[in-house]
A and B are shown apart, each in its own frame.
Chain A
Amino acid sequence: DTGVSQDPRHKITKRGQNVTFRCDPISEHNRLYWYRQTLGQGPEFLTYFQNEAQLEKSRLLSDRFSAERPKGSFSTLEIQRTEQGDSAMYLCASSSGWDSPYEQYFGPGTRLTVT
């Protein structure tokens, strides 16, 4: 059973560029979550999916952020017109939905640096 994988692991981009991150959950996990972690802080919830449906979005997810999970498997998180304040670690997690509260398994994260 492979864990949650994220790609890329690191991304450096210039301010104003668009970036897209991918998350592959554990096989057969129907729930997928995105979090953002800045230096010295705990992760902050961004959004989550049950299968294809995006069920909850944080106010942190501005109009420049969009997340999709088109076939209920992998998910993408896109940030448009990046700003320096977007520099952070973006974490993905998945859960099976079989046990409540659903245990979330985290991936290694994608570290974004906006220059």
Chain B
Amino acid sequence: GNSVTQMEGPVTLSEEAFLTINCTYTATGYPSLFWYVQYPGEGLQLLLKATKADDKGSNKGFEATYRKETTSFHLEKGSVQVSDSAVYFCALIPQGGSEKLVFGKGTKLTVNP
């Protein structure tokens, strides 16, 4: 079946540190890949997406590249801010017409000043 595995949290960083949150997936063919973010007290928001192999999604300084060969979609940011503290979810939509998002368990990020 389809599944997403993300690195266990929580992750605690100092401001301006480099961030990587690992995400790997299991799915047939070419799923579409997403990162969602949930800020404290708010709903899920789409952060970035990639729909085909080697695509790079980017937004707000975050990036992730769709790697078919390693079935990965790792989230990176060069310099995190306190305002980036949130829970980050990696997700996929399977290829072939389904519209359901399959989420990982989420990684909580705390950035300290």
Q: Which residues of B contact A43 (CB under 8 A)?
A: 44, 89, 101, 103
Interface size for B (C-beta < 8 A) is 22
Interface size on A, residues (CB 8 A): 27
Per the bound structure, the CA–CA distance linking A93 and B103 in Å amounts to: 14
Q: Which residues of A contact B98 (CB under 8 A)?
A: 56
Q: Give the distance in Å from the alpha carbon of A35 to the alpha carbon of B45 in the complex.
A: 14
Q: Which of B4, B43, B100, B102 is in CB contact (< 8 Å) with A107?
A: B43
A58 to B102, CA, bound (A): 12
The reply to whether B104 and A42 form a contact with Cβ atoms under 8 Å apart is yes
Please tell me if the beta carbons of B89 and A42 are within 8 angstroms of each other in the complex. Answer: yes
Partner of A91, one of B44, B51, B93, B99: B44
B62-113, CB < 8 A from A: 89, 91, 93, 98-106
Residues of A within 8 Å of B93, CB to CB, are 101
Chain B: which residue is nearest A56 at the CB level?
Answer: B100
Of residues 22 through 73 on chain B, the ones whose CB sits less than 8 Å from some CB of chain A are 32, 36, 42-46, 49, 51
Q: Which 5 A-B pairs have the closest CB atoms?
A: A42-B103, A45-B100, A106-B44, A101-B32, A106-B43
Q: How near does chain A come to B26, taking the closest CB pair, in angstroms?
A: 15
* Contact, CB under 8 Å: A42 / B91: yes
Check B105–A108 contact: CB distance below 8 A. Answer: no
Given contacts A42-B105, A108-B43, A109-B43, contact A33 B51 (CB under 8 A): no
- Contact A45-B101, Cβ < 8 Å, known A101-B51, A101-B93: yes
